[in-house]
């Protein structure tokens, strides 16, 4: 890098940070910035800061005064446009300056000392608040979703707010076979026509189910459309992009939070094949963003805010699964871009607080955090690794095919007329889902209940269809059950489950990405759990009927309990989830936090690794990266290696056929020249050079800052009525603009000069034109740059922006470079 | 600057206060809701010889939650009682029906309010506006904030006329601004499909 003085200084300042600031360089860590303001700070901050500036301006009179921006920066400078990338280096150095100032002032008075202590603690307080708020919201969502799901089937006469299970909680009329029947719970057929059995009652129940499902999904999509269009979808791809430095204003705002919470419950209750884990991550990040406004340290600094959002993402997964460690690892592996060590500890704290809050609210009435908490600890045999690896292969293949199908469908939605009817699309998909799901017992109930039933190992106390085994030795007194031949009901359950498997595989392709909050974890786990259970029961029957085969002889003698279909379901769920999202460590940790047993780590890891390898062989990206690429977000993938031998001068702009680089000179421009340049071009920044002939670099100035400074400081654009109030004397169209440190005193009759050195970045990053692109891409990734200047023999030659790099990478991979939409 | 920051700070503090109150309310409900409908002991006894499976429920305290106290009347004779009870599983469970009730009622009220507001915004407000203000107000098309006129747009944003800080005017301004934002979001998500496929 050239400009040794400037760049070394910034490089040293990066290295001399405290150990807390060390980057944990783990592939896949990403950062996300999202502004929480619904209103661009340009509006509020400007009016608030202008009064201060105007007060100072009154003292300066006369037309020869210099407008010195170094002392009082115009508010609004240093903020970012919507759909733009932030400048990480600038934000981090702003935070270091602020911290330095606070520490140096803390020695002056007790008040300042208290201020510095409270500043240090503000991070922890913020984490505590985020955990509390997210835990409370997640508890509310769980309770409401459970109630509304059961509302499709009936209502409780004891109190309409009870769902089916809680209605029959104290009743003594439940029997061993029918655990859910009690007189207080009335199905709709009973209420409307007074019958419980028979064809007519079935039809009435069917009709009411479909009607409720349609009502819920219609309400969900209308609310999303009317109040917060950003609340649709999963949210994780956008949060990944935001954490890597992108700004989407309003994506993590108050209205998005409220609408996402309310419509998530509606969407889940309408029976659609979606889950709530992804949207819970979005909800938690919204809480994080909103609570950041209470603390100046995080409100004003986009880099610090993204640290908080990384922790909030961990909180989201933690409340969804009841897995705090898994949540932190998920945030580290999937969602975050930069993940300092400090964030690791804080995320864990926030995730624990959230899990504790959720447990106190106690949504399931039995002190469990998650619906499918399994308790069995039966051992598994080494030979069972073969079917586990088979499940892994199935998960990988399904994951890759699902991603392709879903992306094709979403692209269809973006480009064809399908996208013009979002409400109709949601209603049609809901109708199809409800109509096809009602007849099959396994799809009628909510997906979480299906998964918990599949994970459950059959014991003496179970009476479901899946556990209807023929009792060979009825007088056995132990609690363990040997492998037994399947009864008639088990075969019925098997083919019903196969139908459910096919149905879920197809309908999830169409459901994920609709204009309601939709998550992906639960449907993928359901597909895997069904496949796993089918394989498990198959293996069990094989071992029973052919126990004299050599592979079973050693360990599975008749009368022994050797194969646990519930374990196969769990492994299948992990394999499918890993195939779709390509999670590795976080998936295994989440699954074993769900089961509470360390015995099953090896099968889970085997299946997860196999599924990831198979899925990676078939398609490079996970579902979230695929959606990022579909939307054209400027996300520089941290996991990909750039392996081509291009040089910086192949990628930089301007190319040979383009007009020359638009630069500003440091002392020969007037206000109207700059305005003309800004109006004619649409670049987001301009390098500043000494002169057009020498092209020696001075610095870099951003378009937004230029516009704000010129508009704020010149009365040319004021309305006549406001000239008296907001006046910076003397700046007219012909005023010269100086970027230098020392300006010559202007002759008496010429207009006042405008000094804009304060908004210029004096240490832009530069590379020479022969720098290999591998190094340039590495620099962009590691430092979070937005643009980089290219010099040749010390003279400015061109510029490389993040968008250019993304387009270049797309071209190298034979993809369409025009799909990168933002910069 | 001080005033708007002050107002924003007050607003945030009030919101935070409500959130904390709600959470505290939820937390305290769970700790002292021990009325009779909220605790139970559930014993599941599987089929044994020719006795069918049965479920026993009662609200007893934790120390009495075992087979001998719960399974009344005992369906088997003296020497089989132990074998029968070994297979039974008794669990003590608590719940908070007040939490459930409060949560559902709050959720339904918020949902109802939002649905009513949505109906008002989409159906009633244009009708009312048209009756009160005539056609001029409806020509208010939302601004196309494009890059063609950067200075004019910035000028419009920066030099918003400072009206009297009337509460109604502020609410009206805030609502207009919010509606514009939602419209922008709707255009990018639903119409142009730029964000969020």
Q: Is residue B99 part of a domain?
A: no
- A341-361 vs A302-321: helix crossing angle, rounded to 10: 40
Q: Do B129 and B141 share a domain, yes or no?
A: no
- Chain A positions touching B20 (Cβ under 8 A) are 132
Digits of tens for pLDDT over chain B (197 positions)? 555 555 555 655 666 666 666 666 655 554 444 556 678 888 888 888 788 888 888 888 888 888 888 887 887 788 888 888 888 888 888 888 888 999 999 999 999 999 999 999 888 888 887 887 765 544 444 444 444 455 655 555 554 455 556 788 888 888 888 889 898 888 888 888 877 76
> Do A580 and A504 meet the contact criterion of CB atoms below 8 Å apart?
no
Q: Do B183 and B90 share a domain, yes or no?
A: no
B159 vs A294, A411, A719: nearest CB:
A719
Binding-face residues of A in 203-262 toward B, CB within 8 A: 219, 222-223, 225-230, 232-233, 238, 248, 250, 255, 258-259, 262
- Chain B positions touching A413 (Cβ under 8 A) are 193, 197
Q: Is residue B103 part of a domain?
A: no
Q: Do B43 and B88 share a domain, yes or no?
A: yes
* Neighbouring residues of A625: CB distance < 8 A, sequence distance ≥ 6: A237, A635, A637
Q: Do B45 and B27 share a domain, yes or no?
A: no
Euclidean distance between CA atoms A651 and A412, whole angstroms: 32
Q: Assign residue A717 a region: left if phi > 0, alpha if psi is -120 to 50, beta otherwise? A: alpha
| ipTM for the whole complex | 0.83
Binding-face residues of A in 743-802 toward B, CB within 8 A: none
Euclidean distance between CA atoms A233 and A410, whole angstroms: 11
Q: Do B118 and A265 touch (CB under 8 A)?
A: no
- pLDDT (0 to 100) of residue A203: 93
B92 CB near a chain A CB, below 8 Å?
A: no
Binding-face residues of A in 355-414 toward B, CB within 8 A: 357, 360-362, 365-367, 410-411, 413-414
Q: Do B79 and B127 share a domain, yes or no?
A: no
Q: Do B27 and A179 touch (CB under 8 A)?
A: no
Q: Do B160 and A233 touch (CB under 8 A)?
A: no
- pLDDT (0 to 100) of residue A41: 38
Sign of CA dihedral A357, A362, A368, A369: negative
Euclidean distance between CA atoms A553 and A541, whole angstroms: 14
Cα–Cα distance list, B108 to A139, A141, A243, B116 (Å): 15, 12, 34, 12
Q: Indicate the number of domains in chain B.
A: 3
B115 CB near a chain A CB, below 8 Å?
A: yes
Mean per-residue pLDDT of chain A: 82
Q: Do B27 and B47 share a domain, yes or no?
A: no
Question: Quick count: other Cβ atoms within 10 Å of Cβ B148?
Answer: 10
Nearest to A627 by CA among A306, A413, A782, A812: A413
Q: Is residue B43 part of a domain?
A: yes
Q: Do B97 and A250 touch (CB under 8 A)?
A: no
- pLDDT (0 to 100) of residue A37: 37
Q: Do A176 and B5 touch (CB under 8 A)?
A: no
Q: Do B86 and B113 share a domain, yes or no?
A: no
Q: B167-194 pLDDT, tens per residue? A: 888 888 888 888 898 988 888 888 888 7
Q: Is residue B122 part of a domain?
A: yes
- pLDDT (0 to 100) of residue A68: 44
Q: Which residue of chain A comes nearest to B162, CA vs CA?
A: A47
To probe the interface with B, which of A295, A460, A470, A705 has the most B CB atoms within 10 Å? A460
Q: Do B59 and A170 touch (CB under 8 A)?
A: yes
Q: Is residue B100 part of a domain?
A: no
What is the 8-class DSSP label of residue B143?
P
Instruction: Strands of A171-214 (E only): list them.
Output: 185-187
Lookup: tokens for B197: 């496929």
B112 CB near a chain A CB, below 8 Å?
A: no
Q: How many CA atoms, within 13 angstroms, populate the side-chain half-sphere of residue A195? A: 10
Q: Do B123 and B179 share a domain, yes or no?
A: no
- pLDDT (0 to 100) of residue A10: 35
- pLDDT (0 to 100) of residue A263: 95
What is the tally of helices (H) and strands (E) in chain A?
30, 13
Q: Do A161 and B59 touch (CB under 8 A)?
A: no
Structure pTM? 0.85
Q: Do B196 and B185 share a domain, yes or no?
A: yes
Binding-face residues of B in 31-50 toward A, CB within 8 A: 31, 37, 40, 44-47, 49
Q: Do A627 and B197 touch (CB under 8 A)?
A: yes
Q: Do B151 and A710 touch (CB under 8 A)?
A: yes
- pLDDT (0 to 100) of residue A530: 95
Judged by DSSP in three states, A555 sits in coil
Q: Do B181 and B89 share a domain, yes or no?
A: no
A598 CB near a chain B CB, below 8 Å?
A: no
Q: A476-526 pLDDT, tens per residue? A: 444 456 667 777 888 889 999 999 999 999 999 999 989 999 999 999 999
Nearest to A438 by CA among A736, A214, A683, A692: A214
Q: Is residue B54 part of a domain?
A: yes
Measured in angstroms, the CA of A226 and the nearest CA of chain B are apart by 7
Q: Do A176 and B46 touch (CB under 8 A)?
A: yes
Q: Do A719 and B101 touch (CB under 8 A)?
A: no
A182 CB near a chain B CB, below 8 Å?
A: no
State the count of interchain CB pairs (< 8 A) between A and B: 224
Q: How many CA atoms, within 13 angstroms, populate the side-chain half-sphere of residue A284? A: 37
Q: Is residue B48 part of a domain?
A: yes
- Chain B positions touching A686 (Cβ under 8 A) are none
Q: Do B100 and A147 touch (CB under 8 A)?
A: yes
- Chain A positions touching B122 (Cβ under 8 A) are 226
Q: How many CA atoms, within 13 angstroms, populate the side-chain half-sphere of residue B60? A: 18
What is the tally of helices (H) and strands (E) in chain B?
7, 3
Q: Do B114 and B26 share a domain, yes or no?
A: yes
Euclidean distance between CA atoms A327 and A346, whole angstroms: 12
- Chain A positions touching B185 (Cβ under 8 A) are 228-230, 250
B107 CB near a chain A CB, below 8 Å?
A: yes
Q: Which of A543-547's residues contact partners 24+ apart within 8 Å by CB, and which partners? A: A543/A483, A544/A483, A544/A484, A544/A485, A545/A485
- What is the distance in angstroms between the CA of the first residue and the CA of the last residue of chain A? 24
Q: Do A172 and B178 touch (CB under 8 A)?
A: no
Q: Do B12 and A293 touch (CB under 8 A)?
A: yes
| H helix or E strand, kind and range, residue A118 | helix A110-151
Range of B145's domain? 136-197
- pLDDT (0 to 100) of residue A432: 96
- pLDDT (0 to 100) of residue A251: 93
Q: Do A262 and B111 touch (CB under 8 A)?
A: yes
SS (H, E, C) A319-366: HHHCCHHHHHHHHHHHHCCCCEHHHHHHHHHHHHHHHHHHHHHCCCCC
Q: Do B112 and B26 share a domain, yes or no?
A: yes
Q: Do B8 and A250 touch (CB under 8 A)?
A: no
Q: Is residue B161 part of a domain?
A: yes
Lookup: tokens for A435: 């109509």
B151 vs A49, A294, A675: nearest CB:
A675
> Do A608 and A573 meet the contact criterion of CB atoms below 8 Å apart?
no
Q: What is the mean pLDDT of each run of 10 residues along chain A (823 residues)?
A: 37 35 33 35 36 36 40 68 87 90 87 88 94 94 92 90 86 78 87 86 93 95 93 93 91 94 95 92 96 91 93 93 92 90 92 91 65 75 92 96 95 87 93 94 90 84 75 50 74 92 95 92 95 92 82 72 87 95 92 80 93 94 92 84 86 85 85 86 88 89 85 56 45 77 77 81 90 92 90 91 89 78 71
Cα–Cα distance list, A114 to A106, A296, A431, A808 (Å): 8, 15, 60, 51
């Amino acid at each position: 890098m050239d400009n040794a003085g400037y760049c070394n200084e910034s490089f040293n300042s990066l290295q001399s940070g405290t150990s807390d600031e060390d980057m944990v360089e783990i592939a896949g860590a990403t950062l996300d910035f999202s502004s929480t303001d619904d209103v661009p700070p340009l509006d509020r901050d400007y009016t608030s800061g202008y009064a201060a500036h105007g007060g100072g301006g009154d003292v300066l009179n006369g037309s020869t005064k210099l407008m010195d921006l170094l002392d009082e920066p115009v508010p609004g400078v240093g903020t970012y446009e919507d759909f733009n990338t932030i400048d990480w280096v600038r934000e981090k150095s702003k935070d270091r300056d602020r911290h330095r100032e606070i520490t140096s002032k803390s020695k002056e008075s007790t008040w300042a000392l208290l201020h510095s202590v409270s500043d240090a603690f503000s991070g922890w307080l913020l984490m505590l608040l985020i955990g509390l708020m997210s835990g409370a919201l997640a508890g509310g969502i769980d309770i409401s979703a459970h109630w509304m799901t059961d509302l499709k089937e009936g209502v409780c006469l004891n109190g309409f707010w009870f769902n089916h299970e809680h209605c029959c909680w104290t009743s003594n009329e439940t029997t061993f076979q029918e655990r859910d029947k009690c007189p207080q719970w009335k199905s709709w057929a009973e209420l409307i026509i007074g019958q419980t059995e028979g064809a007519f009652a079935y039809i009435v129940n069917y009709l009411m189910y479909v009607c409720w499902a349609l009502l819920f999904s219609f309400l969900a999509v209308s609310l999303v459309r009317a109040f917060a269009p950003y609340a649709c979808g999963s949210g994780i791809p956008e949060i990944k992009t935001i954490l890597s430095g992108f700004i989407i204003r309003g994506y993590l705002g108050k209205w998005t939070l409220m609408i996402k919470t309310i419509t998530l419950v509606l969407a889940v209750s309408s029976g659609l094949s979606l889950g709530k884990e992804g949207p819970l991550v979005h909800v938690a990040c919204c809480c994080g963003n909103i609570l950041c406004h209470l603390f100046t340290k995080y409100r004003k600094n986009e880099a610090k805010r993204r640290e908080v959002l990384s922790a909030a993402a961990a909180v989201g997964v933690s409340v969804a699964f009841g897995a705090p460690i898994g949540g932190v690892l998920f945030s580290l592996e999937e969602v975050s871009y930069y993940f300092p060590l400090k964030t690791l500890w804080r995320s864990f704290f926030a995730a624990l607080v959230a899990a504790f809050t959720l447990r106190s609210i106690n949504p399931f009435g039995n002190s469990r955090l998650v619906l499918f908490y399994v308790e069995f600890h039966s051992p598994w045999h080494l030979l069972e690794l073969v079917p586990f690896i088979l499940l892994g292969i199935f998960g990988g293949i399904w994951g890759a095919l699902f991603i392709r199908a879903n992306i094709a469908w979403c692209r269809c939605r973006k480009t064809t007329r399908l996208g013009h009817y979002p409400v109709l699309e949601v209603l049609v998909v809901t109708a199809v889902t409800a109509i096809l799901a009602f007849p099959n017992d396994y799809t009628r109930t909510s997906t979480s209940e299906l998964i918990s039933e599949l994970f459950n190992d059959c014991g003496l106390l179970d009476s479901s269809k899946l556990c209807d085994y023929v009792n060979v030795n009825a007088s056995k007194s132990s609690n363990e059950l040997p492998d037994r031949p399947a009864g008639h009901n088990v075969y019925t359950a098997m083919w019903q489950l196969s139908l459910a498997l096919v149905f879920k595989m197809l309908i999830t392709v169409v459901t994920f990405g609709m204009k309601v909050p939709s998550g992906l974890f639960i449907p993928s786990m359901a597909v895997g759990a069904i496949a796993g259970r089918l394989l498990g029961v198959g293996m069990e029957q094989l071992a029973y009927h052919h126990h004299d085969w050599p592979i079973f002889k050693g360990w599975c003698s008749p009368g022994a309990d050797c194969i646990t279909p519930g374990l196969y379901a769990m492994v299948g769920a992990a394999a499918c989830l890993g195939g779709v999202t390509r999670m590795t460590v976080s998936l295994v940790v989440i699954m074993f936090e769900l089961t509470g047993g360390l015995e099953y780590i090896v099968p889970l890891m085997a299946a997860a690794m196999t599924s990831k390898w198979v899925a990676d062989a078939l398609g490079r990206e996970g579902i979230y990266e695929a959606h990022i690429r579909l939307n054209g977000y400027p996300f520089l993938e941290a996991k990909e290696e750039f392996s081509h031998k291009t040089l910086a001068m192949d990628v930089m702009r301007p190319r040979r056929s383009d007009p020359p680089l638009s630069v500003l000179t440091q002392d020969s421009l007037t206000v109207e020249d700059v305005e003309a340049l800004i109006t004619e071009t649409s670049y987001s920044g301009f390098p500043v050079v000494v002169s057009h002939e020498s092209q020696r670099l001075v610095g870099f100035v951003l378009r937004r800052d230029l516009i704000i400074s010129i508009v704020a400081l010149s009365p040319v654009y004021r309305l006549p009525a406001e000239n008296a109030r907001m006046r910076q004397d003397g700046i007219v169209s012909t005023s010269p603009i100086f970027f230098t440190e020392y300006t010559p005193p202007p002759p008496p009759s010429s207009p006042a000069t405008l000094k804009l050195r304060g908004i210029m970045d004096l240490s832009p990053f530069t590379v020479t034109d022969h720098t290999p692109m591998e190094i340039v891409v590495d620099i962009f990734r590691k430092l979070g740059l937005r643009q980089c200047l290219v010099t040749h023999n010390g003279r400015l030659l061109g510029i490389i922006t993040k968008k250019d790099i993304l387009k270049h990478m797309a071209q190298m991979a034979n993809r369409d470079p025009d799909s990168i939409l933002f910069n | 600057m001080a005033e708007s920051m002050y107002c924003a700070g007050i607003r945030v503090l009030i919101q935070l206060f409500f959130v904390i109150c709600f959470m505290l309310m939820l937390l305290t409900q769970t700790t002292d809701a021990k009325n009779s409908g909220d605790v139970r002991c559930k014993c599941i006894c599987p089929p044994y010889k020719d006795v069918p499976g049965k479920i026993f429920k009662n609200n007893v305290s934790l120390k009495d939650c075992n087979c001998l106290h719960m399974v009344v009347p005992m369906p088997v004779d003296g020497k089989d009682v132990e074998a029968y009870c070994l297979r039974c599983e008794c669990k003590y469970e608590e719940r908070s029906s007040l939490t459930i009730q409060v949560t559902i009622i709050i959720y339904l009220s918020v949902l109802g309010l939002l649905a009513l507001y949505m109906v008002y915004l989409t159906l009633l407000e244009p009708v009312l506006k048209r009756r009160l203000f005539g056609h001029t107000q409806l020509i208010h098309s939302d601004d196309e904030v494009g890059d063609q006129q950067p200075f004019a747009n910035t000028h419009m944003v920066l030099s918003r006329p400072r009206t009297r800080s009337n509460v109604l005017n502020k609410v009206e301004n805030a609502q207009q601004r919010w509606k514009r934002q939602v419209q922008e979001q709707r255009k990018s998500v639903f119409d142009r499909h730029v964000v969020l496929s």
